[in-house]
Chain A
Amino acid sequence: MTGTTAEVVLDGELDISTYEDARARLAEAERTAPELLVVDLAGLRFVDSTGVRLILSADERAREAGRRLALRLGDGPARRVFAALGLVDRFEVLDAP
């Protein structure tokens, strides 16, 4: 496999109070236009709908630009939230690194 990969690790809480910071980090990673952008959510203690919306828009941008976006969900809160919203099947989900 050739191609560029970028990875953004988000931990702690992903909600309205950390949204701006997380958005800026994703935007920075997107600027290098990696073929694969991995967003690691496995270490999150909490994700709310604002956080989910952030990931959905990143996915939409990746699709439009013909890039891939993949998630690490781990087995904690992030996986529970994405499963409850019926989203696990909509993403490429990677195992823990």
Chain B
Amino acid sequence: MSERGSPARALQRLAGELLGATSPAAIGALVATTAAELLGADATVVFARADATTLEALHTSGWPEEFSRPFRRLELHRGRPLSDAVLDGHPIWLEDAAQWRLRYPDMAPFGTAADRQASACLPLRVEDRDLGAVVFSFNAPRAFSAEEREFLVAVTALCAQGLDRARLLVAERAARAAAERQLGRMTFLSRTARLMEAPLSVEDRLQQLADLAVSELADWCAVHLVRGGRVDQVAVAHSDPAKVAFVAQLQERYPPDPDAPGGALRVSRTGEPAYYPEIPDELLTAAAVDDEHLALIRSIGMRSALVVPLAVRGRRLGALTLVHAESERRFDRTDLAFTEQLAASAAVALDNARLYEEQWRTAHTLQAALLPTDLPAVPGLRLAARYRAPTDADMLVGGDLYDVVPEPDGCGVVVADVCGKGAAAAALTALIRHTVRAEIDHGLGPAAVLERLNQAMLRASGGRPGRFATVAQARITRTPSGATVRLASAGHPAPLVVRHGRAEPVCAPGTLLGVYPDVTLAEVTFDLDHGEIMVLYTDGVTEARDADELYGPERLVRAVADARSADDLADRLLADVDAFQHGQQRDDIAILVIEADAEVAP
């Protein structure tokens, strides 16, 4: 070994080079080179674990193509040297062809192919993570001294760490891309919401919606509306006007079959979405009236399609169709869910335009859809939430929101209040809920979550100061004595902490969101011991009124000071506010209560 250089120095160099290698194949190549240089390994194959039963070759060197081809993918089988190394987590050392034949007679023809003699099969592991294996092969018999074994084990360990890092990097990139995509889509939704409020005719709005959809979501978009007993196509869009004209002629010549399953006409009537991740040719053949029709619809080149209903409270207004054609993209389940959400907000806006007097009711529906129906169970914490819409039917609902995002060691919570009322406020409430969820999942702390939310709100309002919101966001982590709370507040009413029969506000100063590109946010951290309770609320509580005054912070403190549990606090507070305002509630109210549970040990 000495004539080829110092193993310690080689390992050091390999560790350094591995830091720069981000792809699994590059890592495999570095390992092969190092083993060849230091030990004179004649061939190396690095395998990654593809799934529970399969290995996949990441890098092969020294084996002619005809020998390595069958080993690109290997099933794990006990009783083969590589599989045994992976399954048992121990290296297998085979010093020469005779040992191969003795210990692995079935595999010896493969292991000693091309006149190979010795082989070392080593598992790639980091902690308990099983990442694959490496096989080093030698043309001459080799005794594998203790020093050589140590060196190969060390090379393999470095390789495993490199692969583990690369895997985490890929996972992190994917998570970031997913979050960015989600933010992009939320911005798109809110642009759609503004479009649907524009002073245009219903047809013009829907045509603009279709145009917007083909700029971002699909190659084709069509909108159908139910009118009396008929279903009319009111908008169709493609980036190429010639194609729009072609389809118009096609439909004139071959009117669509109103009963075709999964067609826009049928979805408009039934309210059931249709989802075609792939459009096989048989589907076109079945839909075609004759050979010429078939040739024409084939020429459109449809690859994947979604047809979702435009419906509000069970009333079917029409359908939104998206088609991928020449881009050869495919819709997946996420696209379907997003398109349904888009159709739902478009349908609400459409309904508002047609039935203005019912607007408050649809906004209620949207608001209700934005609040969690059930709070998640979070071990070690007791949660309670209440939402109360204004009593007066003339009042539009506001944009109050609460949400709980479970985390492995606790949860993230948010309470927000969007300025203004009606569908537009509810659309911004949707943006807040989705953005906060995405950023919490991303691992950001409360102040950072609120900063990202501020950016998302400004993007959604086209960079101009828009509707503002006050938001309180807290990250709650279980501890042996209860929980630790990290809180940031963007101009939101100060949460209260109830301990030893007293309620005290926790002040985390901060700027409201959605107006200024720079916001100042102070994060505060405090503990909730077992049995202590934190309550977050919106200003509908403190600004509740009787004949001559406001409910105010002092009444709030008195109402919750004696609370015995999260649910008890929420009930007392609502009852006290109700009694004060004599059942006449002007603004909406949201309350979220978190108690460090005395019963459940973390």
Which A residues contact B (CB, under 8 angstroms)? 46, 48-50, 52-53, 56-57, 60, 84-87, 89-90
The one of B420, B494, B509, B516 that contacts A90, using a Cβ cutoff of 8 Å: B516
Contact flag A86-B490 (CB < 8 Å), given A48-B543, A49-B417:
yes
Q: What 3 pairs between A and B have smallest CB-CB spacing?
A: A86-B511, A85-B491, A49-B419
Taking a contact as CB atoms under 8 Å apart, the answer to whether B511 and A52 are in contact is: no
Chain A contact surface mostly: helix
Number of A-B residue pairs, CB cutoff 8 Å, is: 45
Taking a contact as CB atoms under 8 Å apart, the answer to whether A53 and B543 are in contact is: no
Min CB distance B590 to A, Å, is 14
State whether the Cβ of B410 lies closer than 8 Å to any Cβ in chain A.
no
Stretch at the interface among B74-82, B152-160, B462-470, B574-582: B462-470
Contact flag A87-B511 (CB < 8 Å), given A53-B467, A53-B468, A56-B465:
yes
Taking CB atoms, residues of chain A closer than 8 Å to B12 are: none
Taking CB atoms, residues of chain A closer than 8 Å to B539 are: 48-49
B554-597 CB contact bits vs A (8 Å, 1 = yes)? 00000000000000000000000000000000010000000000
Complex CA gap A60/B420 in Å reads 18
Which B residues contact A (CB, under 8 angstroms)? 417, 419-420, 464-465, 467-468, 470, 490-491, 493-494, 509-512, 515-516, 519-520, 539, 543, 550, 587
Complex CA gap A89/B515 in Å reads 14
Taking CB atoms, residues of chain B closer than 8 Å to A87 are: 491, 511-512
Which residue of chain A has the shortest Cβ distance to B550 in the bound complex?
A: A46
Taking CB atoms, residues of chain B closer than 8 Å to A86 are: 490-491, 509-512, 519-520
Min CB distance B331 to A, Å, is 39
Min CB distance A59 to B, Å, is 9
Min CB distance B512 to A, Å, is 5
Complex CA gap A84/B490 in Å reads 9
The one of B420, B470, B511, B519 that contacts A50, using a Cβ cutoff of 8 Å: B420
**Max count, chain B CB within 10 A of own CB: residue among A46, A48, A52, A84:** A84
Contact flag A90-B493 (CB < 8 Å), given A49-B419, A49-B539, A53-B420:
no
The one of B464, B491, B550 that contacts A84, using a Cβ cutoff of 8 Å: B491
Taking a contact as CB atoms under 8 Å apart, the answer to whether B419 and A53 are in contact is: yes
Which residue of chain B has the shortest Cβ distance to A17 in the bound complex?
A: B586
Taking CB atoms, residues of chain A closer than 8 Å to B420 are: 49-50, 53
Which residue of chain B has the shortest Cβ distance to A53 in the bound complex?
A: B419
Taking CB atoms, residues of chain B closer than 8 Å to A85 are: 470, 491, 511-512
Taking CB atoms, residues of chain B closer than 8 Å to A56 are: 465, 468, 515
Min CB distance A45 to B, Å, is 9
Taking a contact as CB atoms under 8 Å apart, the answer to whether A84 and B493 are in contact is: yes
Complex CA gap A35/B544 in Å reads 39
Taking CB atoms, residues of chain B closer than 8 Å to A84 are: 491, 493-494
Which residue of chain B has the shortest Cβ distance to A56 in the bound complex?
A: B515
Min CB distance B103 to A, Å, is 73
Taking a contact as CB atoms under 8 Å apart, the answer to whether A50 and B419 are in contact is: yes
Taking a contact as CB atoms under 8 Å apart, the answer to whether B550 and A52 are in contact is: no
Taking CB atoms, residues of chain A closer than 8 Å to B467 are: 53
The one of A52, A60, A89 that contacts B419, using a Cβ cutoff of 8 Å: A52
Min CB distance A62 to B, Å, is 12
Which residue of chain B has the shortest Cβ distance to A49 in the bound complex?
A: B419
Taking CB atoms, residues of chain A closer than 8 Å to B509 are: 86
Complex CA gap A76/B189 in Å reads 40
Complex CA gap A86/B491 in Å reads 6
Taking a contact as CB atoms under 8 Å apart, the answer to whether B419 and A90 are in contact is: no
Which residue of chain A has the shortest Cβ distance to B464 in the bound complex?
A: A60
Complex CA gap A84/B538 in Å reads 13
Taking CB atoms, residues of chain A closer than 8 Å to B543 are: 48
Taking CB atoms, residues of chain A closer than 8 Å to B512 are: 85-87
Complex CA gap A85/B492 in Å reads 7
Taking CB atoms, residues of chain B closer than 8 Å to A50 are: 419-420
Min CB distance B242 to A, Å, is 42
Complex CA gap A52/B493 in Å reads 15
21 interchain pairs, CB-CB under 8 A: A46-B550, A48-B543, A49-B417, A49-B419, A49-B420, A49-B468, A49-B470, A50-B419, A52-B419, A53-B420, A53-B467, A56-B465, A60-B464, A84-B491, A85-B511, A86-B490, A86-B509, A86-B510, A86-B511, A87-B511, A89-B520
20 more CB-based (< 8 A) A-B contacts, given A49-B419, A86-B491, A89-B520:
A46-B550, A48-B587, A49-B417, A49-B420, A49-B468, A49-B470, A49-B539, A50-B420, A52-B468, A53-B419, A53-B468, A56-B465, A60-B465, A84-B491, A84-B494, A85-B512, A86-B490, A86-B509, A87-B511, A90-B516
Min CB distance A56 to B, Å, is 6
Complex CA gap A46/B548 in Å reads 12
Complex CA gap A90/B510 in Å reads 12
Complex CA gap A87/B491 in Å reads 9
Which residue of chain A has the shortest Cβ distance to B521 in the bound complex?
A: A86
Min CB distance B254 to A, Å, is 53
Complex CA gap A84/B542 in Å reads 13
Which residue of chain B has the shortest Cβ distance to A48 in the bound complex?
A: B543
Taking CB atoms, residues of chain A closer than 8 Å to B587 are: 48
Complex CA gap A89/B512 in Å reads 12
Complex CA gap A87/B520 in Å reads 10
Which residue of chain B has the shortest Cβ distance to A46 in the bound complex?
A: B550
Taking CB atoms, residues of chain A closer than 8 Å to B464 are: 60
Taking CB atoms, residues of chain B closer than 8 Å to A53 are: 419-420, 467-468
Complex CA gap A56/B510 in Å reads 17
Complex CA gap A60/B465 in Å reads 8
Min CB distance B585 to A, Å, is 14
Which residue of chain A has the shortest Cβ distance to B507 in the bound complex?
A: A84
Taking CB atoms, residues of chain B closer than 8 Å to A60 are: 464-465
Min CB distance B342 to A, Å, is 27
Complex CA gap A56/B519 in Å reads 15
Taking CB atoms, residues of chain A closer than 8 Å to B516 are: 90
**Max count, chain A CB within 10 A of own CB: residue among B493, B515, B516, B543:** B515
Taking CB atoms, residues of chain A closer than 8 Å to B417 are: 49
Taking CB atoms, residues of chain B closer than 8 Å to A48 are: 539, 543, 587
Min CB distance A88 to B, Å, is 10
Which residue of chain B has the shortest Cβ distance to A82 in the bound complex?
A: B491
Min CB distance A93 to B, Å, is 15
